Chain A
Amino acid sequence: MILLRRQLPLVITLVTGLGMAAQYYVPHPASEGLLTSVTKWLQIIGGFALVLGVTSLFHVHAVKIRRQEAGWGYSVVLYAGMLGTIAVGLWANGKESIDGVMTAFGWVYSYMMVPLQGTMFAILAFFIASAAYRSFRARSREAAVLLAAAVIVMMGRVPLGEYILPLSGDVSQWILNVLNASVRRAILIGVSLGAVALSLKIIFGVERSYLGGGKE
């Protein structure tokens, strides 16, 4: 059983990983056909993965409601929102609009989901402002440099800033194009090396945390 439960998954990872990496270097139609099939499969599997991600939320809130834990009323709201959306969505065949006419599903999307999600992130504007006033301090020389660059870019990227300080536009352009680009490039190279190392470790079974869950 250990073979089936531990070894075999590692073999699958090794074979698929090496295979798909090798595919990149092989232009032959046979190899291209393999890539087409496998990515098509991943597309469908991706749908199942999405379901998997969503269901844990399902579970957490069901438990909350059953045990009537503190704030279970909110979990009921969550369930109501979810079931309502599903019902409306199935009714509309999963389409927000049919021939340009908005369905009930589209209504839920436009008048509930869009404002809710949009506003959740819009409140951050207020918190940035308050943090700007209360805690963006030049505690060290590094932080001072950061804030100076931030102020230049903030001014250089809006019409008012360019109007008051005509140079700020060019300077912020230079910061972004040269200084920022060089740092981002170094980070990109570093992170990519890390990602390649991690992928290689996964393929060769040195890194197995992704197998996680499931009892032995």
Chain B
Amino acid sequence: MSFAERMLKIDRRIIFLVIGLCTLLPLLYPVGLPIKVSPEVRGVYEHIESLPERSVLFLSFDFDPASKPELHPQAIALLRHAFKKNLRVIAMTLWVSGTGLADQIMTQVAREMGKENGTDYVFLGWSPGNTAVIINLGQDLYKTFPSDYGGKPTKGLPVLDGVYSLKDITYLVGLGAGNPGVEAWYVFGKDKYRFEMGGGCTGVMAPGLYPLLRSGQINGLIGGLRGAAEYESLIDRKGTAVAGMDAQSATHAAIVLLVIMCNVFYVSLRSQQGRG
């Protein structure tokens, strides 16, 4: 067995250990490398920045705990920004298992920024029906959600003053981890009800949303933990995403190194076989 062959056959648990350490060490001993902001993230930030006070921002938290590390910080950063700008926030989720997370995010940030439920924001909760919910919201918000998450009737809530359907909202940001997600909000929402919209998504979804970004169907995109970190640095409130960036750097470097090693061994192995 040649050296290359032996190296390729090492127990994968050693690699597990390497990647575990690459994540753990930067988390324990952060370096704080600077983060550059991409135009995609800036798109969402600047649009929110341009909105007048009391504009209606609609946030849909379409993710579950599996994507919490990526989308939770995005949601927190967006909410902090919106509350700082004194926007009215309507939030909901299309993913049943995301209800608890969405509720936590809303209560936590609202408490921290001193915002009042019903006046400054409302959390509508979850509803089944996926895309049908989006259309129904575009037709009549009060029919889709007769009551909010806490069971209070939505009709007459001060935060919903002048809002009858998706046609009346100023900006929508869908935070999606899959389907239904950002695309569904475009196809079944914006396509007909014509509001401005931006998106946030997991790293896995992000490359697939670039055609929509180019065509202006969404005016900004926050992609994965990196996107969240960019947003955090834009609003100048460093949170978990910025804290995770060093570990992200280390793991990426490790993976790149592993891929290179793998291919070096592979090529040397092949040339040996070619000679033999």
Q: Are B252 and A154 in contact (CB under 8 A)?
A: yes
Residue of A nearest to B191 (CB): A24
9-residue interface stretch from A107-115, A197-205, A206-214? A107-115
Instruction: Kindly state whether residue A57 has any CB partner on chain B within 8 Å.
Output: no
Instruction: Kindly state whether residue A19 has any CB partner on chain B within 8 Å.
Output: no
Instruction: Kindly state whether residue B272 has any CB partner on chain A within 8 Å.
Output: no
The SS class assigned to the A binding surface is helix
Instruction: Kindly state whether residue B208 has any CB partner on chain A within 8 Å.
Output: yes
Q: Are B128 and A47 in contact (CB under 8 A)?
A: yes
Name the interface residues of A48-65: CB closer than 8 Å to any CB of B.
49-50
CB distance from B216 to the nearest CB of A (A): 12
Q: Are B19 and A163 in contact (CB under 8 A)?
A: no
Q: Are B254 and A129 in contact (CB under 8 A)?
A: yes
Instruction: Kindly state whether residue A161 has any CB partner on chain B within 8 Å.
Output: yes
- Residues of A contacting B149 with CB < 8 Å? 95
With A117-B97, A118-B68 known as contacts, the answer to whether A99 contacts B150 (CB < 8 A) is yes
Residue of A nearest to B13 (CB): A130
- Interface residues of B, CB < 8 Å — how many? 68
- Residues of B contacting A188 with CB < 8 Å? 211
CB distance from A30 to the nearest CB of B (A): 13
- Residues of B contacting A47 with CB < 8 Å? 128-129
9-residue interface stretch from B49-57, B77-85, B133-141, B155-163? B133-141
- Interface residues of A, CB < 8 Å — how many? 65
- Residues of A contacting B33 with CB < 8 Å? 159-160, 163
A122–B12 Cα distance when bound, in Å, is 17
9-residue interface stretch from A7-15, A74-82, A133-141? A133-141
- Residues of A contacting B140 with CB < 8 Å? 36
Residue of B nearest to A48 (CB): B128
A133 interface neighbour in B23, B68, B143, B262, Cβ under 8 Å? B262
Name the interface residues of B247-273: CB closer than 8 Å to any CB of A.
248-256, 258-263, 266
With A130-B16, A136-B259 known as contacts, the answer to whether A120 contacts B136 (CB < 8 A) is no
Instruction: Kindly state whether residue B147 has any CB partner on chain A within 8 Å.
Output: no
Residue of A nearest to B17 (CB): A126
Q: Are B258 and A129 in contact (CB under 8 A)?
A: yes
A40 interface neighbour in B16, B104, B136, Cβ under 8 Å? B136
CB distance from A168 to the nearest CB of B (A): 11
Residue of A nearest to B227 (CB): A157
Instruction: Kindly state whether residue B15 has any CB partner on chain A within 8 Å.
Output: yes
- Residues of B contacting A117 with CB < 8 Å? 64-66, 97
Residue of B nearest to A43 (CB): B129
Residue of B nearest to A163 (CB): B33
CB distance from B155 to the nearest CB of A (A): 16
Instruction: Kindly state whether residue B113 has any CB partner on chain A within 8 Å.
Output: no
Name the interface residues of B161-187: CB closer than 8 Å to any CB of A.
none
Instruction: Kindly state whether residue B153 has any CB partner on chain A within 8 Å.
Output: no
A39 interface neighbour in B136, B208, B245, B251, Cβ under 8 Å? B136
Using a CB–CB distance below 8 Å, which chain A residues touch chain B? 24, 32, 35-36, 39-40, 42-47, 49-50, 95-100, 106, 109-110, 113-118, 120-122, 125-126, 128-130, 132-138, 147, 150-151, 154-155, 157-163, 169, 173, 176-177, 180-181, 184-185, 188
Q: Told that A134-B12, A151-B256, A159-B246 touch, could you supply 17 new A-B pairs with CB distance under 8 A?
A: A36-B136, A36-B140, A40-B132, A43-B127, A43-B129, A96-B99, A97-B103, A100-B111, A125-B23, A129-B16, A129-B258, A133-B259, A157-B226, A161-B253, A163-B34, A181-B210, A184-B207
A-B pairs with beta carbons under 8 Å apart, 25 shown: A35-B139, A39-B136, A47-B128, A49-B128, A50-B96, A96-B104, A109-B100, A110-B100, A125-B19, A126-B16, A129-B16, A129-B254, A130-B16, A132-B258, A133-B261, A134-B15, A136-B259, A136-B263, A154-B255, A155-B253, A157-B226, A157-B252, A158-B226, A184-B210, A188-B211
